[in-house]
């Protein structure tokens, strides 16, 4: 299944909690579109990465996409020549959201194979020995968003197995083998879509990263919860069918503290900047929290 659509199915529920504030969120996202048709990063420059989140945020809000401007922006990148791994994945993701068929998707996906690690996973760096959880998640998503599966399923699964801990968590890479919520969420999503077994201990480990003040920490014992970790943890727990009912109200309060009347979301309590990425994660978190 397309990872983009999987998450959007949930994020589309966010307006049921936002109510009239949905319009403010939409206005914020639209305000971030640059003159070239792309959407801005934190420095005010159009960027494929942030454009992909803007597309998904607007889609979650059931708002019309500025399709013509977006298409013009995406066409500049052609088949992705010169883009790094993350932006190649974002190019594929953006095109999957438009009604127009992207004739060069095969070339974009072929470029992703330049980032195949020796252990069979994907890494943001070329010719890496080991893949990363994030790399395999992005690559799987790029293929799946266009109705395809990445080649070498066994290699991807073996790469993720090398990042797994006995307690049911995953590290992102072997250079910094620290288990964390985003990496664990990425691994869970890929494994679920490959219908590969996931340890029973994964759900409890994710719940152990819950912060008493609301939200989820990036790893147990971290000083502050953040919106990315919260959205990812909720998505993974939901996919595992592990209840987070006891954490729901505190998470709702946490997400509310990060929203502003400008319509955007901050990433955490110390973050002073609003951006489209965290605004999308706010919608994803609220979508999961919309269930009683």
- Dump pLDDT digits (tens) for 233-278: 999 999 999 999 999 999 999 999 999 999 999 999 999 999 999 9
pLDDT of residue 184: 98
pLDDT of residue 233: 98
pLDDT higher than 90, residue 17: yes
pLDDT of residue 256: 97
CA dihedral 188, 264, 93, 163 (to 10 degrees): -30
Q: With cut-offs at 50, 70 and 90, classify the pLDDT of residue 68.
A: confident
pLDDT of residue 172: 97
pLDDT (tens digit per residue) in 180-205: 999 999 999 999 999 999 999 999 99
Residue with the two structure tokens 């250079």: 175
Alpha-helical (H) ranges within 61-113 are: 67-75, 85-97, 105-112
Q: Evaluate whether 28 touches 262 at the Cβ level (below 8 Å).
A: yes
> Across all residues in the chain, what is the average pLDDT?
96
> Does residue 141 or residue 101 have the better pLDDT?
141
Residues ≥6 apart with Cβ < 8 Å to 84: 124
**For the chain, first and last CA: distance in Å?**
26
Q: Evaluate whether 32 touches 50 at the Cβ level (below 8 Å).
A: yes
pLDDT of residue 292: 62
pLDDT of residue 186: 97
pLDDT higher than 70, residue 1: no
Tokens representing residue 136 in the block: 């395999």
Q: Evaluate whether 155 touches 161 at the Cβ level (below 8 Å).
A: no
């Amino acid at each position: 299944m397309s990872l983009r659509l999987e998450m959007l199915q949930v994020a589309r529920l966010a307006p049921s909690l936002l109510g009239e504030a949905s319009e403010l969120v939409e206005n914020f996202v639209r305000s971030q579109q640059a003159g070239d048709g792309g959407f801005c990063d934190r420095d005010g420059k159009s960027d494929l990465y942030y454009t992909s989140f803007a597309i998904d945020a607007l889609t979650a809000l059931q708002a019309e996409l500025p399709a013509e401007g977006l298409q013009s922006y995406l066409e500049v990148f052609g088949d992705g020549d010169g883009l790094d791994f993350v932006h190649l994945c974002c190019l594929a993701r953006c095109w999957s959201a438009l009604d127009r068929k992207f004739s060069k998707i095969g070339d974009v996906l072929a470029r992703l194979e330049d980032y195949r690690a020796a252990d069979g996973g994907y890494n943001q760096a070329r010719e890496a020995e080991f893949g990363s959880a994030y790399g395999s998640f992005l690559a799987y998503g790029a293929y799946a968003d266009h109705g395809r599966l990445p080649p070498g399923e066994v290699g991807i699964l073996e790469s993720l197995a090398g990042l797994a801990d006995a307690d049911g968590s995953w590290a992102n890479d072997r250079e910094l083998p620290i288990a964390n919520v985003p990496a664990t969420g990425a691994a869970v999503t890929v494994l679920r879509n490959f219908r590969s077994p996931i340890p029973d201990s994964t759900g409890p480990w994710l719940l152990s990263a819950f912060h008493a003040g609301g939200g989820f920490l990036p790893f147990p014992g971290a000083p502050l919860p953040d919106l990315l970790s919260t959205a990812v943890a909720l998505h993974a727990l939901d996919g595992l069918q592990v209840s987070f009912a006891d954490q729901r109200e505190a998470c709702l309060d946490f997400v509310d503290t990060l929203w502003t009347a400008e319509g955007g979301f901050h990433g955490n309590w110390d973050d002073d900047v609003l951006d489209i990425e965290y605004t999308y994660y706010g919608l994803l978190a609220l979508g999961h929290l919309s269930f009683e």
